[in-house]
Amino acid sequence: MTQPPSNSHRRQFLQHAGLLTAGIGLATAHTAGWARTGNAPIARTRSGRIAGQTEGGIHVFRGIPYGADTAPRRFQPALQESAWSGVRDALAYGPAAPQAGNEGPGSEDCLYLNVWTPALRDGGKRPVLFYIHGGAYNNGSGSDPLYDGGNLCRRGDVVVVTVNHRLNLFGYLHLAQLGGPALADSGNVGQLDLVQALHWVRQHAAEFGGDADNITVFGQSGGGAKIATLMAMPAANGLFHRAWTMSGQQVTAAGPRAATQRARLVLEHFKLGDADALRQLPMQQLLEAVKLRDPSRVESTGLYVGPVLDARNLPAHPFWPQAPAQSAAIPMVIGNTHDETRAFLGNDPANHTLSWEALPARLEAQQYVDLLPTVVIAEYRRLYPHYTPSEIFFAATTAGRSWRGAIEELEARARQGAPTWAYQLDWYDRGGDAAHLRAFHTLDIPLVFHNLQQPGSRTGSGLEAQRVADTMSDALLAFARHGDPNHPGLPHWEPYALDRRQTLQFDASSHLGDDPRGGERRLYAQAPFIQRGTF
């Protein structure tokens, strides 16, 4: 999984959009400045009725609770939300999970989801698309403007759901070996929140015009990694029926020893001898610990947290040594962008003007696979003799720290004989202000959502961008409806197999390629792949 050092680009457009939800309590019309209209759509949920609004012919319900406030049960599985009387307004996004940065500080009362649907209670049996946000396991929320589900609803007659869940220390701090029985699930409660949300969606699919037996989970970056983890969690078995991941892989989880070592660092930081005492710390004080230095040399942005091999909720690594057996029948799409690391290394002007002399040290610091930089550089110069030092830097860091995980998952699924399709996004807006970033990490989000003009999109809105968005979003919709991403606007997209490694390359003119970047794949296969945070 690509885990950028910061989500500055995502936070920037959230800030511009005025959608930061820190400090918000219940999602009410007053907090959003919206008022319920007399003909507001009303939906019935297990805990009470909710009122949404209609936007461009689509019914939208924001800030629907699917679990109770997690503060009283910090580090524990959440309880169901409390019932209410009357009609509750579902007009504003719920608060984000506790987190640092511009999207924080958030709230421990964060278990909310959002629904876009063409109709209510009409027996429509529409595919349900459940989106899990990125931001590694540390930050983000389902209220990002790029995740607005209206255009997908209108384009494909589907139901779209986005979700908030616990993150960072609140969702993934493994205290099972340091505290009492109440903390046994602590390393994976963020994942258990997603399981709880999926149960809610299945329970209410018919109310929102959807099909409980046709749920597609899709997500980018950390969202894709969370999906890969769900595919190996017994508690998630049967809760979804297709999986589409974008630049997000989880081959191995954090081992219990490594996860406990990180938890000890948190206790030492607060000078606590008892893990249960962490449950009493003020939320913002506990958030300080996300900035602790991680014991792994490859973690430069704070303490790593992620799903834990706890022999309880996650009994096996998600995709090692094989793909999860429980998900073998689930169709899956695994995609990446061609220039992932330009998203977070491309904003440093020095990285665009590297000399051959400076390249080895810069590459050694940023490629996570442990190969001699001189070996890597020599092979890239052989494969791509026209590449500059900077082009080698961006290509090698992408292949050496993010794309490699996708290859691992694709190979595991191919060995399993599971229905799997691979894609690579090659297209970018050559004339736009982000042309120097090329096909960077997150560029596929507005394309699959068909949200080219939402705040934060850097696709532009020209005819070429529209054509690529049509192609990608229609592939997602076809996949959600039929379990196969092929549609008339695509060349035939063959499943991935080890003999040819078929990959759909999305571009101005999309085409199917066999083993694109095969030389880079073979180069990095010289070293074992180890997911960040495993040790």
Is 340 annotated as catalytic?
yes
Burial 38-47 (b: 16+ CB within 10 A, else e): eebbebebeb
Count of CB atoms situated within 10 Å of the CB of 77: 18
384-411: per-residue pLDDT in tens? Answer: 999 999 999 999 999 988 899 999 999 9
Assign 470 to helix, strand or coil: helix
Which amino acid does the sequence have at 38? G
Q: With bands split at pLDDT 50, 70 and 90, how would you rate the model's confidence at 30?
A: very low
Half-sphere exposure of 330 (CA within 13 A, CB side): 29
Q: Could you give the CA distance from residue 170 to residue 305 in angstroms, rounded to a whole number?
A: 10
pLDDT at site 368? 84
pLDDT at site 370? 87
pLDDT at site 6? 38
Backbone phi and psi for residue 222, each to the nearest 5 degrees, phi listed first: -55, -30
- Greater confidence, 31 or 298? 298
Q: Is 501 left (phi over 0), alpha (psi -120 to 50) or beta?
A: left
Is 441 annotated as catalytic?
yes
pTM: 0.93
Q: Which residue has the tokens 């249960």?
A: 276
Catalytic residue among 241, 441, 457, 520: 441
105-132: per-residue pLDDT in tens? Answer: 999 999 999 999 999 999 999 999 999 9
334-366: per-residue pLDDT in tens? Answer: 999 999 999 999 999 999 999 999 999 999 999
Q: Among 4-18, 88-102, 262-276, name the one with the lowest average pLDDT.
A: 4-18
Catalytic residue among 186, 221, 457, 473: 221
Mean pLDDT over 123-145 rounds to 98
Which amino acid does the sequence have at 81? E
Q: Using CA atoms of 313, 317, 323, 329 in order, give the dihedral in degrees to the nearest 10.
A: 10
Which amino acid does the sequence have at 289? A
Q: With contact defined as beta carbons under 8 Å apart, do 193 and 67 qualify?
A: yes
Catalytic residue among 81, 103, 108, 340: 340
Q: With contact defined as beta carbons under 8 Å apart, do 126 and 210 qualify?
A: yes
Label the pairing between strands 420-425 and 332-337: parallel
pLDDT at site 103? 84
- The whole-chain average pLDDT of the chain stands at 93
